[in-house]
Amino acid sequence: MKKLFLSLFIATALTNGAFAQNEENKTSFGVKAEVNSNFYLVSDSDVISSTSNAFGGNVGLFLKTNLTNNLAIQVELLGQYRNAEFMILDEKQTLTNWNIEVPAYIMGQFAKGSSRFFFGAGPYGIAGISATMGGTNMYDENNGIFTLSRWNLGVGMIVGIELGCGLQLNINYKYGMFNSNISENGNFVENTATVGLGYRF
């Protein structure tokens, strides 16, 4: 009888350990939709006198892997629609972008009741699909205004909460590391803030 109880105890301990390990290494995926506010910090430009933010949106998927109960990696694939306003020779113009964005975050997380709070930081990359201003292709090097780069890298931060049902609320801020203007007419540093909802399956 003692051997039976000992065997059951060992089996239960091993099973619980396996479940705990699976939870730590658990990979899940989800969907998210965000409202973004985008603007550029512009310097050394003879044409652009000021810039201001305008609103757009992101939609996409994310993949999250729990390394431990308090540490995770999250990679996202987002389709992005962005706007930014420029004052060019005393005339307001709106730059409209369609992009693909891939952020990756290392996140800390902790549970409070049935909810989970998370915060993190990491790099992101952008690939531009289209960029227009008043019908002008801003990727064209001969457009006469400035030439926008299709590619950029930057760093981002994320803070949010996940409810017990899987619903998420998150806030992001992203800062471009490289000049988005590849012409000689100034330096453009892109900044984007987002507020969004997600659901993790």
What integer best gives the mean pLDDT of the chain?
88
26-200 classified as CATH 3.90.1170.40: no
Is-contact 42 51, C-beta < 8 A?
Answer: yes
Residues 147 and 179 sit within 8 Å (Cβ to Cβ)? no
In which band, very low, low, confident or very high, does the pLDDT at 17 lie, cut at 50, 70 and 90? Answer: very low
The SS3 assignment for 21 reads helix
User: Tens digits of per-residue pLDDT, 64-80?
Assistant: 999 999 999 999 999 99
* pTM, two decimal places: 0.84
Tokens of 195: 């507020």
Distance from the first to the final alpha carbon of the chain: 44
